[in-house]
Chains A and B, each alone.
Chain A
């Protein structure tokens, strides 16, 4: 079932005329003309759609937490600062279907009573910002944005704001700081954005994909949306698949699709590239724990793993992972886990905002130790040191970046400790170009 990407291959879908012809903006008409804001929130609640940015928090619930004091403006901010290594679904959605996001923004803003809403786009995506701005102009010309939308008396202004190019600005409170024109440091919570967000006013921050689902939900009803997916993971999810697979790209899947089918069927990833075997999978963007291939396909109990929030996290951090933001990276046996872990650690060192000490110092420390191991200068106690540092960072920081930096390192050591040990014991072999440790038991 394609909910978001149904018309993605229609030529000219990025223009208002074609999008409108394909049934676009009917949800805005329906919501604003026939529904009260509360009814829209209720419909989204019924759909059970969960935040697609990574945390998976139910969107309707988040909306209902929004404080509504008298005389204070409320804001909706769309988090389009997608910078997680491995995740590129929002980029794909925005560049191909800008009007789907605009339509979702209008519906969501109407539901929350926001008269000014922001789309905070990753600064590197300048051309996407231009596409969105053009789409906003078109929607405004057609009367779907601006003053008195469709004669209902509801006003909405939509602002596209380019980010400065920092991963940390994808954290919701850092995003708000950045949007206010300050340094993008995450805020201390509480107060949460739903109480004091942008300019100290109640604010909801939602991911692009979450907001884009609202138009389908309004057109077809929340209950219809909830019939897709499995259990509490309702609906569909965009997965951006990359790595050693035959068909990298963005796929819209029904949540609950089996991992085996997603990885191996020709409709999706098309299997690991020819002549190679599956080694490891990062299922939801660089922040989630890496798992060996056999634990990705089957849970520790031997059940088939499904692409859903619950099934992927089955087994906790010992044997499970997370759906995260849908950045699906596949490694075959030619990939070096130590090198990859170092690469991720380098990313987090570079992107830590430097505000709280465990993350600022810990990410740099982990990167340096991993660098040493990768370059054949490690020692055995470095492995335990890494585990210890990751434990000391996890949970002790202001924002989840600390956790995101700690999990990939901890999980890589948990599942691929022998590979780290091989790097340390055989520094000369390990530092040869293209050298990779191979062991049958870790291959699926």
Chain B
């Protein structure tokens, strides 16, 4: 037995074991293993406190609550807000109920979302597009009218198109936590809820532009970039500058020699850790204003990575390898290697196997 540090909890997600400190959520533990087992997240945004639990895209089945109390949890739980327990066993992609629930979340999110990706500015870097491609079905059963809204300009830089909004509340948390004076929130309830500013006010804040980056869909877009270019025709480059307001770490998006857009850097999960100010985002659009670090390492979740939608979706080879690796370690090498069938038939393993399912092997 190897000695594990007492402060780490052991969790098994889709058959892969991982050790994480207490207080970690299931989603974070799964992300630690890798993208193969990480549940999708439409509303959860790690840097924003209090986010998560709303979209239900990350629902998982907890088949054993903890080592002390191995009863399964009665309902599917939102992995982004459920803290892990020692010895917890979680089923994600391996549980048909979870896969089914996720399919239905895609369906629910899409019933009031226009299916006009070709004319949407977010296409290519839209989380909902990825989510529905990976977890949804190709058809819809919704026949009624969709909810529509007029486009709304909130401030000089940002346009809000509520029709596309999936009410993830990320921008509300951003406005609440990154900017100092929040005039931006959710009005009304139910399926007529909408994101709006306090009686049509403009968002006037140096960090307001970050709501564009956190928006998973095309509801909040950059007015200085809207419809200038498709994202997959532009080239992202990491750059930084000395900014007195923010970290100054950005991505410049080039078309030819021209900087057409500046955004904050997103990590593997599409999350921004270093929020940037509006001066960097909207006003520094000359290469001379930046120190170039080099081309952005394109992550899994970007349309820039070629053939993204055609590979690795079903087979998940990395996941299989990790599973095989973890199972391989459990094989006991001390036992003798048997050659003869008669020896095999007398071994304890063989007897146990036969006792388990005689009919299957056709022996008496």
Min distance, Cβ A49 to any Cβ of chain B, angstroms = 25
Question: Which residues of B in the span 106-150 have a Cβ within 8 Å of any Cβ on A?
Answer: 107-109, 111-112, 141-142, 144
Min distance, Cβ B208 to any Cβ of chain A, angstroms = 21
A350 within 8 A of B: yes
**Is B185 a contact partner of A183 (Cβ separation < 8 A)?**
yes
Contact of B53 among A188, A351, A364 (CB under 8 A): A188
Determine the distance from Cα of A150 to Cα of B191 in the docked complex, in whole angstroms.
51
Determine the distance from Cα of A214 to Cα of B82 in the docked complex, in whole angstroms.
35
B56 — which chain A residues lie within 8 A by C-beta? 356-358, 396-397
B189 within 8 A of A: yes
Question: Are A392 and B53 also in contact (CB < 8 A) when A351-B190, A354-B189, A363-B190 are?
Answer: no
Min distance, Cβ A370 to any Cβ of chain B, angstroms = 11
**Is A352 a contact partner of B166 (Cβ separation < 8 A)?**
no
Determine the distance from Cα of A190 to Cα of B81 in the docked complex, in whole angstroms.
8
Question: Are A354 and B193 also in contact (CB < 8 A) when A392-B104, A396-B101 are?
Answer: yes
A395 — which chain B residues lie within 8 A by C-beta? 75-76
**Is B108 a contact partner of A358 (Cβ separation < 8 A)?**
yes
Contact of B101 among A360, A364, A392 (CB under 8 A): A392
A396 — which chain B residues lie within 8 A by C-beta? 56, 59, 75-76, 101, 104-105
Chain B 7-32 near chain A by CB (<8 Å), digits 1 or 0: 00000000000000000000000000
Question: Are A357 and B55 also in contact (CB < 8 A) when A368-B144, A385-B141, A392-B101 are?
Answer: yes
The listed residue with most A CB atoms (<10 A of its CB), out of B59, B111, B189, is B189
Determine the distance from Cα of A353 to Cα of B54 in the docked complex, in whole angstroms.
11
B344 within 8 A of A: no
Determine the distance from Cα of A201 to Cα of B76 in the docked complex, in whole angstroms.
28
A132 within 8 A of B: no
B313 within 8 A of A: no
B54 — which chain A residues lie within 8 A by C-beta? 355-357, 398
Contact size range, A:
20 to 34
A260 within 8 A of B: no
Chain B 76-105 near chain A by CB (<8 Å), digits 1 or 0: 101001110000000000000000010011
B192 — which chain A residues lie within 8 A by C-beta? 354
A317 — which chain B residues lie within 8 A by C-beta? none
Determine the distance from Cα of A354 to Cα of B166 in the docked complex, in whole angstroms.
10
A175 within 8 A of B: no
CB nearest neighbor in A for B169: A355
B323 within 8 A of A: no
B186 within 8 A of A: yes
Chain A 389-400 near chain B by CB (<8 Å), digits 1 or 0: 000100111100
Q: Is the interface of A mostly helix, strand, loop or mixed?
A: helix
The listed residue with most A CB atoms (<10 A of its CB), out of B52, B111, B186, is B111
Chain B 59-82 near chain A by CB (<8 Å), digits 1 or 0: 100000000000000011010011
B167 within 8 A of A: yes
Question: Are A357 and B108 also in contact (CB < 8 A) when A368-B144, A396-B76 are?
Answer: yes
Question: Are A392 and B108 also in contact (CB < 8 A) when A356-B54, A356-B55, A397-B56 are?
Answer: yes
Min distance, Cβ A174 to any Cβ of chain B, angstroms = 11
**Is A350 a contact partner of B190 (Cβ separation < 8 A)?**
yes
Contact of B190 among A353, A358, A369 (CB under 8 A): A353
CB nearest neighbor in B for A391: B104
Question: Which residues of B in the span 145-173 have a Cβ within 8 Å of any Cβ on A?
Answer: 166-167, 169
Min distance, Cβ B220 to any Cβ of chain A, angstroms = 18
The listed residue with most A CB atoms (<10 A of its CB), out of B82, B166, B193, is B193
CB nearest neighbor in A for B113: A361
**Is A354 a contact partner of B185 (Cβ separation < 8 A)?**
no
Give the A-B pair count, Cβ closer than 8 A: 91
CB nearest neighbor in A for B74: A395
Number of B interface residues in the complex (CB < 8 A): 35
Min distance, Cβ B321 to any Cβ of chain A, angstroms = 32
A365 within 8 A of B: yes
CB nearest neighbor in B for A367: B191
CB nearest neighbor in B for A186: B53
Min distance, Cβ A317 to any Cβ of chain B, angstroms = 14
Determine the distance from Cα of A239 to Cα of B69 in the docked complex, in whole angstroms.
39
CB nearest neighbor in A for B81: A188
Min distance, Cβ B184 to any Cβ of chain A, angstroms = 13
A365 — which chain B residues lie within 8 A by C-beta? 108, 111, 142, 144
Min distance, Cβ A95 to any Cβ of chain B, angstroms = 28
A363 — which chain B residues lie within 8 A by C-beta? 190-191
**Is B78 a contact partner of A354 (Cβ separation < 8 A)?**
no
**Is A353 a contact partner of B53 (Cβ separation < 8 A)?**
no
Question: Are A364 and B191 also in contact (CB < 8 A) when A188-B53, A357-B166, A397-B56 are?
Answer: yes
Question: Which residues of B in the span 163-218 have a Cβ within 8 Å of any Cβ on A?
Answer: 166-167, 169, 185-186, 188-193
Determine the distance from Cα of A398 to Cα of B75 in the docked complex, in whole angstroms.
11
A362 within 8 A of B: yes
B112 — which chain A residues lie within 8 A by C-beta? 361, 364
Question: Which residues of A in the span 384-429 have a Cβ within 8 Å of any Cβ on B?
Answer: 385, 392, 395-398
B185 — which chain A residues lie within 8 A by C-beta? 183
CB nearest neighbor in B for A385: B141
A166 within 8 A of B: yes
Chain A 133-177 near chain B by CB (<8 Å), digits 1 or 0: 000000000000000000000000000000000101000000000
B104 — which chain A residues lie within 8 A by C-beta? 358, 392, 396
B186 — which chain A residues lie within 8 A by C-beta? 183, 354
Determine the distance from Cα of A303 to Cα of B186 in the docked complex, in whole angstroms.
51
The listed residue with most B CB atoms (<10 A of its CB), out of A354, A361, A372, A396, is A361
Determine the distance from Cα of A364 to Cα of B76 in the docked complex, in whole angstroms.
22
B55 — which chain A residues lie within 8 A by C-beta? 356-357
A392 — which chain B residues lie within 8 A by C-beta? 101, 104, 107-108
Determine the distance from Cα of A375 to Cα of B79 in the docked complex, in whole angstroms.
41
A355 — which chain B residues lie within 8 A by C-beta? 54, 167, 169
Determine the distance from Cα of A261 to Cα of B291 in the docked complex, in whole angstroms.
84
**Is B190 a contact partner of A352 (Cβ separation < 8 A)?**
yes
Determine the distance from Cα of A190 to Cα of B25 in the docked complex, in whole angstroms.
12
A349 within 8 A of B: yes
CB nearest neighbor in B for A362: B108
Determine the distance from Cα of A361 to Cα of B75 in the docked complex, in whole angstroms.
20
A362 — which chain B residues lie within 8 A by C-beta? 108
B144 — which chain A residues lie within 8 A by C-beta? 365, 368-369, 372
**Is A354 a contact partner of B167 (Cβ separation < 8 A)?**
yes
Contact of A361 among B52, B78, B191 (CB under 8 A): B191
Min distance, Cβ A399 to any Cβ of chain B, angstroms = 11
Contact of B167 among A168, A360, A368, A385 (CB under 8 A): A360
16 contacts between A and B (CB under 8 A): A188-B53, A190-B82, A190-B83, A349-B191, A351-B189, A354-B186, A354-B188, A357-B56, A357-B57, A357-B105, A361-B109, A361-B111, A364-B191, A395-B76, A396-B101, A397-B56
Closest 9 A-B residue pairs measured CB to CB? A354-B193, A364-B191, A392-B104, A188-B53, A361-B108, A352-B190, A368-B144, A395-B75, A188-B81
* 4 other A-B residue contacts (CB within 8 Å) besides A190-B83, A353-B189: A188-B78, A190-B82, A362-B108, A395-B76
Q: Which residues in A have some Cβ–Cβ distance to B below 8 Å?
A: 166, 168, 183, 188, 190, 349-358, 360-365, 368-369, 372, 385, 392, 395-398
Q: Which residues in B have some Cβ–Cβ distance to A below 8 Å?
A: 52-57, 59, 75-76, 78, 81-83, 101, 104-105, 107-109, 111-112, 141-142, 144, 166-167, 169, 185-186, 188-193
